[in-house]
Amino acid sequence: MFNLIQLPYNLDALEPVISARTLEFHHGKHLKGYVDNLNKLVVGTKWEELCHSELSEESVLAEIVRNSDGAIFNNAGQILNHNMYFQQFAPVSVPELVEGPLMKQIIKQWGSLEAFQTEFVAKGVGLFGSGWVWLSADKDGSLVITQDPGASNPVVKGLKPILTFDVWEHAYYLDWQNRRADHLSALWRIVNWDVVELRYKR
């Protein structure tokens, strides 16, 4: 059985960037829907056994995403994506990204954190329709920004995803309506860089 993750903060902790009302729907309705769907879909498939293995839920989801299609791919992908998304945020007071392997690599490739953030937001704004913008690392630790449509995840391309912004309208429409660029730019205020850095180093 797949489980709905607990949010590592209160529903109103990310305001005004993400309202409690948006989180209530996004986590409690949208993500829960994907979890309920996948739990029904895997019954009687080869994935059912994997769910009862020793592997972490994240590893199981990534394995399904790499090797499935259709409804199972869509629901497993959306659970993997949302789990990473919700767990990378913290209330507005979190410290900025500090000097470390990730910051060094960002400076090496983009020149500054601001230049990276500008390109990341532009890629999110430029993604047509629903999907996700991701920062991932390749096998050599180089960083790459990708636009992934629908429920896709960079693990499909053999990359290690470390940061993502959800650009489905359900992620921001209650708070920001059509102002996707403003919403994405505001998300930097709640990114928990400690989590992102840990993903990069593991």
- Distance between CA atoms of 80 and 47, rounded to whole angstroms? 15
Question: Which CB sits closer to Mn ion, 47 or 86?
Answer: 86
Q: With contact defined as beta carbons under 8 Å apart, do 42 and 65 qualify?
A: no
- Distance between CA atoms of 139 and 77, rounded to whole angstroms? 22
Quote the least distance from Cβ 164 to Mn ion, whole Å: 10
Among 2, 19, 166, 196, binds Mn ion (CB under 5 A): 166
Should residue 89 be labelled a site residue for Mn ion when binding is judged by CB under 5 A?
Answer: no
Should residue 35 be labelled a site residue for Mn ion when binding is judged by CB under 5 A?
Answer: no
Q: How many residues bind Mn ion (CB under 5 A)?
A: 3
Should residue 168 be labelled a site residue for Mn ion when binding is judged by CB under 5 A?
Answer: yes
Strands 131-137 and 143-149: antiparallel
Beta carbons within 8 Å of 8's beta carbon, 6+ residues apart: 86, 87, 90
Question: Which CB sits closer to Mn ion, 25 or 188?
Answer: 25
Should residue 171 be labelled a site residue for Mn ion when binding is judged by CB under 5 A?
Answer: yes
Should residue 2 be labelled a site residue for Mn ion when binding is judged by CB under 5 A?
Answer: no
Quote the least distance from Cβ 166 to Mn ion, whole Å: 4
Should residue 167 be labelled a site residue for Mn ion when binding is judged by CB under 5 A?
Answer: no
The torsion angle over the Cα atoms of residues 81, 86, 92 and 95, rounded to 10 degrees, is -70
Should residue 62 be labelled a site residue for Mn ion when binding is judged by CB under 5 A?
Answer: no
- Distance between CA atoms of 160 and 194, rounded to whole angstroms? 16
> In this chain, which stretch among 51-59, 66-74, 145-153, 158-166 interacts with Mn ion, using CB under 5 A?
158-166
How far is Cα of residue 149 from the mean position of the Cα atoms in its chain?
13
Residues that bind Mn ion (CB under 5 A): 166, 168, 171
